[in-house]
Amino acid sequence: MNAPLGDLAAIVIVLLVGFLPNELWRVLGVLFGRRIDEDSALMRWVKTVATALVAAVVARLVLVPSGALIALPLWLRLLAVASGIGGFYAMRRSVLAGVLTAEVVLAVSAWWLGVTG
């Protein structure tokens, strides 16, 4: 009889601690973000730093992999990056297309090579 109350309490805790604070910041971001000039020097700097961080994460995943990527050879990881860039540009600069292209190349190549995670 306590299990349903325990589940309900867990749901309430997740909502109060996880969901609502996140939503508060998202709403505030939308409200205050309307006034930000996207072409300002500060926003160009923020975009540059964000792009550099993503590039660093991708470089780390390719050059110093962890998890299942360790089993894949370097040439295959580089091929996946190149195909992702190709997919990005082929689909009119679509990030989703680039990511999906690289993932498909990795998954199909790993299967073809018989590599399992």
Helix (H, G, I), strand (E, B) or coil at 114: coil
Helix (H, G, I), strand (E, B) or coil at 107: helix
pLDDT digit string, tens, across residues 90-111: 999 999 999 999 999 999 999 9
H helix runs in the chain, sequence order: 2-14, 20-33, 41-63, 74-90, 95-113
User: Is pLDDT of 52 > 90?
Assistant: yes
Question: Any idea what the Cα angle at residue 8 is, between residues 6 and 9, rounded to 5°?
Answer: 65
Contact 65, 110 (CB under 8 A): no
Domain range enclosing 110: 39-117
Same domain, 15 and 43: no
DSSP state letter for 27? H
Same domain, 104 and 49: yes
Same domain, 15 and 72: no
Same domain, 5 and 43: no
Same domain, 24 and 62: no
Domain count, the chain: 2
Same domain, 45 and 99: yes
pLDDT digit string, tens, across residues 30-47: 898 888 888 999 999 999
Same domain, 72 and 22: no
